[in-house]
Amino acid sequence: MKKEDVPQYDENLLNGIKEIQYAVDKNGNYTEVKSPGWEPKNVALKQALSLVDEIIEDARMQVNEGKKSPIFFYMHLKQMDLQILKEESGLPKFILKRHFKPKIFNKLSEKTLNKYAKVFGISTEELMKIPEKPVKALEYNFGFKLQN
Amino acid sequence: MNNIIDFQHKMSAHCENGVTGNLLRFYGIELSEPMIFGIGSGLFFFYMPLIKMNGIPVTSFRPLPGVIFKRVTKRLGIDVNVRQYKNQIRAAEEVDKLIEQNIPVGMVVGVYDLTYFPPAYRFRFNAHNIIAVGKENNIYYISDPIMEKIEQINAEDLLKTRYAKGTYKPKGKMYYIKHVPETYDINSAIVKGIKHTCRNMLNIPFPYAGLNGIKTLAKHVKKWPDKLGERKAKLYLGQVVRMQEEIGTGGAGFRFLYAAFLQEASQIMNKPQLNDISGQMTEVGDLWREFGVEAGRIFKDRYSGSNPYGEISKLLLKIRNEEEKTFLNLNKLIKNI
């Protein structure tokens, strides 16, 4: 890749940082060039991010329909899966799956609820309900808004 | 304990090169990022359909985290200490003790809880490398090669990243330099690094590693749309591109970085032929970028041809064949040095 061809396609995905790339100058010598991003890379990253949001929205719908408890929603919102939630909470998978059931969730003790809230880094009040509208994980978790 | 080490931080394309290079510089060994990458045999290809992350096969353009540091220090005769702790409190105390003695500490972390990291990159990805270079009250000073300056993170968050859960857990892994020899043989380190990379790319008798891996991926890619459906095929392909484009790969799975290494090696060793091979490697890198662009068209449904996955499979085979020529040349040359 030539130095002048290093893409400067900025969608602020790196939050202002420019990454280093190596490209050749006129004399064929490699040199460091800074770049805020390039299109195919940004597309692939945004694809991964929107997949996360799709999974979260699917979980939110299931909670809304009374099929799953908020724990299921917050697990996905925090990009966890059953394995990570198991390790973070110290609870076995079959217990976690039971807690995904709204009926059982409603009977959970304060102590257990606090434990989940802590794992998700939210308050216990937050854990009791889910957002009314679809959420973007980046915005909700890190207060970061994607361009477009 | 409060102590901030006087540490020169430099950004790099790839985190492990950066951490290794910054640690070596602290002890008076100045090597460029491409040199670290080449001596550490950082170039690789791995496509493993049997291991999945989030339901998508694992593809990687680099060896396992930690090996670049290990190989570079070994090849230069540097004494290091690599440790893991089951006990998190001890893991934190050990870092503090080292910082107090003015010893910068490298560590493997997950990026999800890395609070200063670019938010769009905060996935549950557990193979990032950083250096702790100071502590003040509850705040650690961190040299992270992706960031432009020294960053800060509080002790609880740092510990969380060191014990991140999920695939490839870092388990508190940390490493530091114990002793640096007065002289070292850079030529022999370069030769060892190149030989190892040639072996990894050409000779692993396993269909998922090195050039064989690229061939297997090419064979699989063209079947994805029929086998998985359009949506999942895109996700599979997206994963390959994301790894190829990961921060620091230069959009070409590190091929340009390796070409830069070969060029520098040709000057150090006075072997102009290495520079010719560097040129070939640059061309291979350009082909990988072309692959990224074509894959990007597929994601955005902007592909004009009728058989996008078939075409992209052909492109991968072409890349594989060009890489083979390049590595065979390199292998032949390095055996005679």
Higher pLDDT, B240 or B213: B213
Tokens coding A120 = 């998700």
State residue A25's pLDDT score.
95
Place of tokens 């592909």: B303
* B93 φ/ψ angles, rounded to the nearest 5 degrees: -60, -40
Candidates B122, B93, B89, B88; CA nearest to B105 is: B93
pLDDT in tens, B15-38: 999 999 999 999 999 999 999 999
Of the pLDDT bands very low, low, confident and very high (cuts 50, 70, 90), residue B101 is very high
State residue B247's pLDDT score.
63
B124 to chain A: closest CA residue? A79
| Contact flag B256-A30 (C-beta cutoff 8 Å) | yes
DSSP B134: E
| Contact flag A40-B251 (C-beta cutoff 8 Å) | yes
| Contact flag B235-A47 (C-beta cutoff 8 Å) | yes
pTM above 0.80, yes or no: yes
- Residue B226's DSSP bridge partners are none
Q: At what angle do helices A39-64 and B230-245 cross, to 10 degrees?
A: 130
Size of interface A-B (CB pairs under 8 A): 120
Q: Is the pLDDT of residue B248 over 70?
A: no
Q: What is the total residue count of chain A?
A: 148
| Contact flag B282-A51 (C-beta cutoff 8 Å) | no
Of the pLDDT bands very low, low, confident and very high (cuts 50, 70, 90), residue B249 is low
Interface test with A, best of B14, B15, B61, B122 (most A CBs within 10 A): B122
| Contact flag B112-A45 (C-beta cutoff 8 Å) | no
Interface test with B, best of A3, A12, A43 (most B CBs within 10 A): A43
Q: Is the pLDDT of residue B240 over 70?
A: yes
Pairing of strands B128-136, B46-53: unpaired
**Averages of pLDDT over each 10 residues, chain A, 148 residues:** 85 86 93 86 84 94 97 96 94 97 97 96 95 95 85
Return the half-sphere exposure (C-beta side, CA atoms, 13 A cut-off) of residue A72. 23
Q: How far apart are the first and last CA of chain A?
A: 29
Section B259-277 average pLDDT: 97
Section B296-323 average pLDDT: 90
pLDDT in tens, B40-56: 999 999 999 988 877 78
B238 to chain A: closest CA residue? A44
Fold of B2-30+79-179: Cathepsin B; Chain A (3.90.70)
Q: Where are chain B's structural domains? A: 2-30+79-179, 186-335
In chain B, the percentage of residues whose pLDDT exceeds 90 is: 79
